[in-house]
Chains A and B, each alone.
Chain A
């Protein structure tokens, strides 16, 4: 009977995920999944013969208060950090479940199967935990977002992996508890050293991958305690995260291995500095207002700079003014714009932009040659024509928004500094490009007031 009830929870997860795939059904999907979760919790509490009620109620209350507080308080611009930390906690929870198994059983009598599942659970859970914490720290600006690399980094990582495997085999064979703790320690360390060399703009891939890992950690814990709901829920999330990870790497035309190990974005900066001496056309708020005010079609291209400047509301306001003047306004959103999959969509939804106005790469790109004005707000590499034209470029082959094919391009940017990848952007020096050097929010507000004067 219990198994049937748990199956109902698993079905709720599947139905919930399915409904999360469409804008109209998504909210109900999330609620169906939440109900499935509630049901699973109640079934467990009723059927498991719980002894330590104090520990459980205390843990549930503390966790629920912390979780609800974070969910209500978080700013939409801080959503990547939030997702990172939640991924990490999921990993930690699964690793802790395995850890209770380690301290409460006689390890010398474990079957090989159980020993392996516990060790796998420990490794995945703790890597997810510290890897997510490092991703959080990078997104929050606590550690530099650029790749932190040192000589022999890959060798060190390799040694940690080899060491962890060696100790794990020893612990599994001998049943020595200390071996399990050493494996846990090495996994914690590996999470840090694996994510530290990955740069900020690669975060959409890292967060998706850690999302997948948090699912795999739950599934691994499910193998340890032989629980089908954990295995099913974990496998679903593992699959979801993996799909997003693959989509993100495809949007950058890079392999997962390249994202994880290349320390991308550390080279090419000197060459870019040389090229930046070329002249650009500067625009004032009035220049921008005139171009935009007489345009029939406008495409806004947001990037991470929009999130940093919290300029989503100002962008919507400008779009409203332009639509009021009869222009068609759309937003073109590159899959890896921002710091996590869908980052820009969430920000613009917060600013009350209807989702029909948000175009993805495939929808937006064909419209660009017929677009009067493209307004770029803090995006850089995703509109860099080098990715199309320059086989020597580090981002060559990455699918981009071909904004240089539009009639006029206005780039709002704080300075000429090259983007994350350290690659200069030839777009900035084009005949039809106007450079508007300012913070995205200020630039938009100034342009709106200039537009209102004529």
Chain B
């Protein structure tokens, strides 16, 4: 099987896993789901790291540098802000415990 075919197979299966795993998320969690998912899309950082780390020409290294910066903002900012949001989501009992 060519690399492209393997890639397509992996992509399709992963997409189905995604649909199965996410389809029943309650509306309350839609925003954290979105920002958490966005942080996961920052996985492109590993492509950015190889591109910047192995770039042969100065131009490739410059492009790789910006790829690392944007992907890192996405990863670090995305996971942190999601954690910050989720920290605020409290059930009634948790809220009462926190107030005591």
A63, B72: Cβ atoms under 8 Å?
yes
Judged by a CB distance under 8 angstroms, whether A214 is at the interface is yes
A67, B34: Cβ atoms under 8 Å?
no
Residue of A whose beta carbon sits closest to that of B23: A243
A355, B90: Cβ atoms under 8 Å?
yes
A interface footprint on B36-53 (CB within 8 Å = 1, 0 otherwise): 111111111111111111
B4, A63: Cβ atoms under 8 Å?
no
B44, A221: Cβ atoms under 8 Å?
yes
We find that the number of chain A residues with CB closer than 8 angstroms to chain B is 114
Q: Which of A198-231 contact B (CB under 8 A)?
A: 207-208, 211, 214-215, 217-219, 221-231
Residue of B whose beta carbon sits closest to that of A214: B41
Interface bracket on B: 35 or more
Q: Interface stretch among A37-45, A278-286, A432-440? A: A37-45
A356, B10: Cβ atoms under 8 Å?
no
A interface footprint on B63-100 (CB within 8 Å = 1, 0 otherwise): 11111111111111111111111111111101100000
Residue among A97, A222, A343 having the largest count of chain B Cβ atoms under 10 Å: A97
Cβ 8 A contact of A99, one of B10, B18, B63, B88: B63
A67, B77: Cβ atoms under 8 Å?
yes
Given contacts A230-B47, A358-B28, contact A62 B69 (CB under 8 A): yes
Judged by a CB distance under 8 angstroms, whether B1 is at the interface is no
A227–B49 Cα gap in the complex (Å)?
13
Q: Interface stretch among A27-35, A264-272, A443-451? A: A27-35
B72, A71: Cβ atoms under 8 Å?
no
Cβ 8 A contact of A346, one of B15, B51, B56, B85: B85
Given contacts A52-B52, A90-B38, A218-B43, contact A235 B90 (CB under 8 A): no
Separation in Å of the A224 CB from the closest CB of chain B?
Answer: 8
Contacts of A225 in B (CB 8 A): 47, 50-51
Residue of A whose beta carbon sits closest to that of B59: A103
Given contacts A21-B21, A229-B46, A244-B34, contact A51 B28 (CB under 8 A): no
Contacts of A224 in B (CB 8 A): 47
Given contacts A27-B83, A62-B72, contact A21 B29 (CB under 8 A): yes
A45–B30 Cα gap in the complex (Å)?
33
A215–B90 Cα gap in the complex (Å)?
29
A20, B38: Cβ atoms under 8 Å?
no
Cβ 8 A contact of A239, one of B19, B59, B70: B19
Separation in Å of the B87 CB from the closest CB of chain A?
Answer: 7
Cβ 8 A contact of A16, one of B11, B40, B81: B40
A219–B7 Cα gap in the complex (Å)?
9
Judged by a CB distance under 8 angstroms, whether A176 is at the interface is no
Contacts of B40 in A (CB 8 A): 13, 16-17, 33, 37, 215, 233, 236-237
A72, B59: Cβ atoms under 8 Å?
no
A357, B92: Cβ atoms under 8 Å?
yes
A104–B59 Cα gap in the complex (Å)?
9
A33, B31: Cβ atoms under 8 Å?
no
Separation in Å of the A200 CB from the closest CB of chain B?
Answer: 17
Cβ 8 A contact of B14, one of A51, A74, A83, A231: A231
Cβ 8 A contact of B42, one of A93, A104, A238, A346: A93
Residue of B whose beta carbon sits closest to that of A29: B36
Q: Interface stretch among A333-341, A379-387, A415-423? A: A333-341
Given contacts A67-B78, A231-B7, A241-B37, contact A59 B73 (CB under 8 A): no
A93, B67: Cβ atoms under 8 Å?
yes
Top 5 nearest A-B pairs (CB, nearest first) are A63-B72, A239-B18, A59-B68, A342-B30, A67-B77
11 sampled A-B residue pairs with Cβ under 8 A: A22-B26, A55-B64, A56-B52, A64-B73, A72-B80, A74-B81, A87-B38, A230-B46, A235-B14, A237-B38, A241-B34
Residues of chain B at the chain A interface (Cβ within 8 Å): 2-4, 7, 10-12, 14-19, 21-57, 59-61, 63-92, 94-95
